[in-house]
Structure 1
Amino acid sequence: MTTFICYDKCTTCQKAKKWLDEQGAAYTARPIKEENPTAAELAAWQAKSGLPVKKFVNTSGLLYKSMGLKDKLPAMTDAEVFDLLATDGMLVKRPILVTDKGVFPGFKAEEWAKLL
């Protein structure tokens, strides 16, 4: 099962959706703002992706900047980061593609193609 976690107003998410549709990929779209990932989901996805925890943080978002997370994140444990991200979908890097083959936050067509 393929899940596309996105935010409709995000231009990168719109590009990713268009790309998935062009590939003929079957997926379930999950709106990140309304259905924010849980800390457990984020931890599982990060483990499955093999990427550092920071790759799941939306470092370009307004909330990230207003909360001063650039300075706070380095001192936080992975569990604390996942707990924080679970409080608001706008803190989570998007889009995220979750498949049986793996997980990738952000949109890179070449990486996503490996997961389909």
Structure 2
Amino acid sequence: MLTRLPTSRAAAHSATEPHERRAMDVTLYGIPNCDTMKKARAWLDQAGVAYRFHDYKKAGVAEADLRRWIERLGWEVVLNRAGTTFRKLPEAERADLDADKAVALMLAQPSMIKRPMLEAGDSLLAGFAPDRYAAVFGR
């Protein structure tokens, strides 16, 4: 899922210079041994995109980041319900989920966060799809 912040700067830039490659802060969040993460990192490396890798397991994740992602994408996208960690939870913990419960689960077990999460300028992507990465980076 791709969302862009509705800023006048971003809107003006996209209207006047849609294909210009501009420097932006890029952070890739995830865990290093995940196959999807490996694909995302390989794509970024091959495309020559400079990025910072944030390892959920070593560095954790800030509650403010999770809440910002949920505000933009929805907790249903940010919480990885297909993963083994989530599926192993007792039914009582999986029932009646909402944003606050999802945040608590992801803070307690960061492997429940969708991987990868990519922040690049005004863009936020959950998961990896080469076409969505290409759209963000103009490649």
Say yes or no: TM over 0.5: yes
Q: Is the 8 Å Cα contact of residues 94 and 105 (structure 1) preserved in structure 2?
A: yes
Could you tell me the TM-score, scaled by structure 1's length? 0.84
Match of 1:114 in 2: 135
3-state SS of 2:59 partner = coil
Could you tell me the TM-score, scaled by structure 2's length? 0.72
Distance of 1:69 and 1:95 partners within structure 2: 26
Higher Cα Rg, which structure: 2
Distance of 1:69 and 1:3 partners within structure 2: 34
Match of 2:37 in 1: 13
Distance of 1:44 and 1:91 partners within structure 2: 16
- Once superposed, what is the RMSD of the aligned Cα atoms? 2.0
| % identity of equivalent residues | 23
- Number of residue pairs aligned between Structure 1 and Structure 2: 113
Which 5+ residue runs of structure 1 have no aligned equivalent? none
Structure 1 residues 63-106: Cα deviation after superposition (integer angstroms, max 9, x where no partner)? 11110469725x22212211221112111111111122221111
Determine which of 68, 76, 79 is the counterpart of 1:54.
Answer: 76
Distance of 2:111 and 2:123 partners within structure 1: 22
Distance of 1:112 and 1:30 partners within structure 2: 18
Match of 1:81 in 2: 102
Q: Which runs of 4+ in 1 moved over 6 A?
A: none
TM superposition shift of 1:61: 2.0
